Structure 1
Amino acid sequence: MFKLHTLCCAALSAWVASAYDVTLGFNGAPQIENRTIDEIYEAALAEGGIVTLWHGGDETNQQDSLKQAFEARFPNITLNVTVDVSKYHDGNIDRQLATGGVYVDSVILQTLHDYPRWDDEGALLHYIPLDFFNIQPSFRDLRGAWYGVAVFAWSFLWNENRVSEGPKEFDDFLRPEYKDKLVLTYPNDDDAVLYAFDLIMQQYGYEWFEKLLAQNPRWVRGTGTPVTLLSQSNGTSSVTFTSSAGLAPTSPIGIAFPTKGQFVSWAQRAAILKDSPHPEGAKLLHNYILSEEYQAQNGGWSVRKDIPAPEGYQDLADIPSSNPNGFEGFMADRERAERLRLFFEDKIGTPQGLSSLKDDL
């Protein structure tokens, strides 16, 4: 009995040691990068030339362009990237942290609320990359535990061959012409879409939602699915507001943002795990993603304040119909988000069909 008691106490002590609040450790000073990117590259090569990235998304190929660009820029470096829904990635990161088996280097996710929690648990590397101070201040943690690396925004999208005119405001989605032509992501399957519906209905009321349901929208899983369906030459889906196709989509996709209603935008966060097996590779990846070379060519709004918006668009901070910092507060209030999720589940049912990562759309 004594031996069992001793073992239990030892296990409890180990758990407490790994779970205590690290605030009073006063050891949060960041590593400040002062090497050139080529010097970081040499360090990453010496480390083994591997980077393992877990990136949030709902289509397996969504980060293929990043992998190709990164590996082309840095020969003999391999970027192993796994795309999955952020709400699943974060639980698997928690599992790695709980078991001491961290094998992921970099995490770039939509679940913004996870990063302060992971930092409080002492799980994140405090690291200031080369272009850190060019990032919009509200998009970065003071000590470099995390920072935004890409701006995401939901826009109005439509197939110009299937409707006479695209929507300009959320009321337009109730037009008779759009009946049976709307394709929308389940709000109870994606927090960013849930936030979009919350913003809309706080402004337009529940009656707007009732009228939207009368339009007989097609509900789908994944925010990439609506764009795919809109782009199909033989499809009937024509209009959406739960997706993005960049700020200059290819024909026949039209794009607009509301000026009266609020549209969703946020900065997708990145962090390096403190116990990353390839920290130099992760540093190289983050410095590359934040570089002017990469940020200026991504075709959308940049997280960097020194890179102007694409031609024809205002800087995101100057657009009154979006608040890129609002999503963080929504994500942090998990109790409210869960109430909203269950509300919509009651109205439209549980998400049906395969995950968008496994279907063929």
Structure 2
Amino acid sequence: MLYLYKLIIDKYGWDWLRRFAAQDVVWVRGTQEPADRVEAGTAAVALGTDGMLTPADDVKTRFVLPERDPFMAWAQRAAIFKNAGNPAAAKLYLNWWLSKQTQSDFYMWSVRTDVAPHTGYGHIWDYPNAHLDGFEHFMADRALVERFRQQLTLYVGEVSGAPSPGRLGLHPGR
């Protein structure tokens, strides 16, 4: 989420964030809770979550793709470690996950060039405002990330809620 706010603030400035925060925004940790709140009807909109490009009939929320405003997308990484306990199972899993059928059924964009995007959308690399490689570069500069997080906290305070993986920070045992 830090990177998404970095993109927005780089485009609109810190004054935008000040005005945005003054609108009784509920700040939560992670990306799933905002979507859950919208789906439950306890929030009207969520900034910084994902959604199905072609949602199922029973899903009330809709993903809205910005035409000019920044958003972030990146391919999920996968690897099989050299000393994996069961490399054959790992290969089967990755082969299934990257198969044309599974990638065609995925709710977002596929990483495969031979899988057509969902109806009404182009391939993800056709959207210059998706910043496909920006997240990786942002995260590589840990000093920048920490400075930005601290400055953002001055405007919005600390976010609330349990961290997504169930542990907090670099030193979860402390």
Match of 2:54 among 244, 248, 257: 248
Q: Which amino acid aligns with 1:275?
A: N
Separation in 2, partners of 1:346, 1:323: 26
Partner residue in 1 for 2:142: 334
State how 1:146-161 maps to structure 2 within 5 Å.
none
1:346 Cα deviation (Å)?
2.6
Q: Which amino acid aligns with 1:280?
A: A
Q: Which runs of 5+ in 2 are unaligned?
A: 167-174
Match of 1:256, SS state, is: coil
1:275 Cα deviation (Å)?
1.3
Match of 2:116, SS state, is: coil
Give TM-score scaled by structure 1 length. Answer: 0.43
Partner residue in 2 for 1:216: 24
1:349 Cα deviation (Å)?
2.3
1:287 Cα deviation (Å)?
1.0
1:311 Cα deviation (Å)?
0.7
Match of 1:266, SS state, is: coil
Separation in 2, partners of 1:269, 1:201: 27
Does 2:21 correspond to 1:198? Answer: no
1:252 Cα deviation (Å)?
2.7
Q: Which runs of 5+ in 1 are unaligned?
A: 1-192
Partner residue in 1 for 2:104: 296
Distance 1:357 1:195, change over 3 A: closer
Partner residue in 1 for 2:15: 207
Determine if contact 1:260/1:321 at 8 Å carries over to the other structure: yes
- Greater C-alpha Rg: 1
Partner residue in 1 for 2:113: 305
Separation in 2, partners of 1:357, 1:268: 16
Q: Which amino acid aligns with 1:277?
A: G
* More contact order relative to length (CA 8 Å, sep ≥ 6): 2
Q: Which amino acid aligns with 1:246?
A: M
Separation in 1, partners of 2:35, 2:22: 22
Distance 1:357 1:322, change over 3 A: closer
Q: Which has more strand, going by share of residues?
A: 1
Report the aligned-residue RMSD: 1.6
Distance 1:254 1:353, change over 3 A: closer
Separation in 1, partners of 2:11, 2:63: 22
Separation in 2, partners of 1:309, 1:194: 27
Partner residue in 1 for 2:94: 286
Separation in 2, partners of 1:239, 1:248: 18
Match of 2:66, SS state, is: coil
Separation in 2, partners of 1:356, 1:300: 20
Determine if contact 1:225/1:356 at 8 Å carries over to the other structure: no
Match of 1:254, SS state, is: coil
Match of 1:245, SS state, is: coil
1:344 Cα deviation (Å)?
1.5
Partner residue in 1 for 2:169: none
Match of 2:81 among 252, 266, 273: 273
Query: Structure 1 segments of 4 or more deviating over 6 A?
Result: none
Q: Which amino acid aligns with 2:60?
A: P
Match of 1:263 among 50, 71, 75: 71
Separation in 1, partners of 2:74, 2:11: 20
Match of 1:321, SS state, is: helix
Task: Show CA shifts across 1:52-74 (max 9, x none).
Answer: xxxxxxxxxxxxxxxxxxxxxxx
Give TM-score scaled by structure 2 length. Answer: 0.87
Determine if contact 2:109/2:117 at 8 Å carries over to the other structure: yes
Q: Which amino acid aligns with 1:265?
A: A
Determine if contact 2:54/2:118 at 8 Å carries over to the other structure: no
